[in-house]
């Protein structure tokens, strides 16, 4: 089985996202848990959520991959930003229980000059406070491009965060193809090597989801600018090899490509064709 879908706007509610995913041909999707640049989350409407749960169940959806807001930075330099960020992740983990058993992906953070080591320490400290044994959600660390002072550009940094976190079974990784490429992992010429390295450093059992994006820039550029699948520096053939790599089989693949609906319909159809549908 394979799962493909794209990032959808949450503004019209949960059920509309389910309908939208179906309309575009998907069987998973991503969404922001709240305004990506704002703070307060909308009240959850349980009827609306239940409607979505019916849609996902009836249509055999895979795990959904929620995304934390960009304003969340667990290892920010400023105390008030750190406090806000901890409140956001803690509240989001509670809200995720309305859609039980899915994934919540976040950017580990930017250390803003404190150094990656310190950043990693703080991130893990927060995770140790907010993760709980009773939660059904798996929290995912996203691999980053290494823009600015982003933590999580290397597999080693991600691994260190996991190592320092107590409830490891509640924690996983979301591999963003644009980000690892921009971060310096050459998935065009050495995909097997990169996957192997992930396995050696972190372990493939920790890989839960894929953000399936081409990149506007060259390998190692640290820019983080997504491109439509096949139109970037990674290119169609390499993207196809990623989609078909056995180590990634069955994971939810999420498109975060700059597209309109027609573009997503095309990318989802292409992915399905690769899967032999
Ligand atoms: Fe992201
Ligand atoms: Fe991403
Ligand atoms: Zn990105």
pLDDT digits (tens, 9 = 90+) for 222-238: 999 999 999 999 999 99
Q: Which ligand is nearest to the CA of 224?
A: 3
**Residue list, CB under 5 A from ion ligand 2:** 176, 211
Ligand 1 centre from 188 Cα, in Å? 21
Ligand 2 centre from 211 Cα, in Å? 5
Q: Which two tokens stand for residue 164?
A: 């320092």
Ligand 2 centre from 2 Cα, in Å? 19
Q: What is the pLDDT of residues 95-150, one digit of tens each?
A: 999 999 999 999 999 999 999 999 999 999 999 999 999 999 999 999 999 999 99
The whole-number pLDDT of residue 242 equals 98
The whole-number pLDDT of residue 51 equals 98
The whole-number pLDDT of residue 67 equals 98
Q: Is 273 exposed, middle or buried (0-12, 13-18, 19+ CB in 10 A)?
A: exposed
Q: Which ligand is nearest to the CA of 145?
A: 3
The whole-number pLDDT of residue 211 equals 99
Q: Which ligand is nearest to the CA of 105?
A: 1
> How long is the chain?
277
Ligand 3 centre from 144 Cα, in Å? 7
Ligand 1 centre from 234 Cα, in Å? 18
Mean pLDDT, residues 173-191 = 98
Ligand 1 centre from 214 Cα, in Å? 14
Ligand 2 centre from 207 Cα, in Å? 14
The whole-number pLDDT of residue 35 equals 83
Cα–Cα distance between 44 and 49 in angstroms, integer? 8
Ligand 3 centre from 222 Cα, in Å? 10
Ligand 1 centre from 68 Cα, in Å? 8
Q: What is the pLDDT of residues 19-71, one digit of tens each?
A: 999 999 999 999 999 887 867 888 899 999 999 999 999 999 999 999 999 99
Ligand 1 centre from 208 Cα, in Å? 14
Ligand 3 centre from 54 Cα, in Å? 31
Ligand 3 centre from 212 Cα, in Å? 10
Q: What is the pLDDT of residues 150-164, one digit of tens each?
A: 999 999 999 999 999
Residue with tokens 């690769």: 274
**Residue list, CB under 5 A from ion ligand 3:** 224
Q: Model pTM?
A: 0.98
Mean pLDDT, residues 180-209 = 98
The whole-number pLDDT of residue 223 equals 98
Ligand 2 centre from 107 Cα, in Å? 8
Ligand 3 centre from 225 Cα, in Å? 6
**Band of the pLDDT at 277, cuts 50, 70, 90?**
confident
The whole-number pLDDT of residue 36 equals 79
Ligand 3 centre from 266 Cα, in Å? 21
């Amino acid at each position: 089985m394979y799962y493909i879908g794209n990032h959808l706007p949450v503004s019209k509610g949960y059920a509309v996202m389910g309908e939208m995913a179906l309309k575009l041909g998907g069987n998973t999707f991503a969404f922001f848990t709240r305004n990506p640049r704002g703070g307060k989350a909308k009240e959850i409407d349980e009827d609306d959520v239940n409607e979505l749960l019916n849609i996902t169940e009836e249509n055999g959806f895979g795990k959904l991959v929620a995304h934390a807001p960009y304003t969340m930075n667990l290892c920010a330099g400023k105390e008030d930003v750190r406090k806000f960020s901890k409140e956001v992740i803690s509240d989001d983990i509670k809200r995720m229980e309305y859609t039980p058993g899915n994934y919540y992906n976040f950017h580990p953070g930017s250390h803003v000059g404190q150094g990656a080591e310190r950043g990693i320490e703080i991130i893990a400290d927060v995770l140790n406070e907010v993760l709980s044994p009773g939660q059904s959600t798996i929290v995912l660390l996203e691999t980053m491009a290494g823009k600015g002072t982003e933590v999580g550009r290397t597999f080693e940094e991600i691994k260190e965060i996991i190592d320092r976190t107590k409830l490891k079974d509640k924690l996983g990784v979301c591999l963003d193809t644009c980000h690892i490429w921009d971060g310096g992992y050459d998935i065009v010429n050495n995909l097997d090597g990169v996957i192997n390295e992930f396995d050696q450093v972190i372990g493939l059992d920790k890989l839960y989801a894929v953000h399936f994006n081409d990149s506007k820039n060259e390998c190692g550029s640290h820019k983080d600018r997504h491109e439509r699948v096949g139109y970037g520096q990674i290119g169609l053939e390499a993207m196809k090899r990623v989609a078909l790599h056995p180590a990634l089989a069955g994971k939810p693949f999420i498109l975060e490509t700059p597209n309109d609906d027609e573009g997503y319909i095309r990318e989802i159809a292409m992915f399905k064709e690769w899967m032999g549908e």
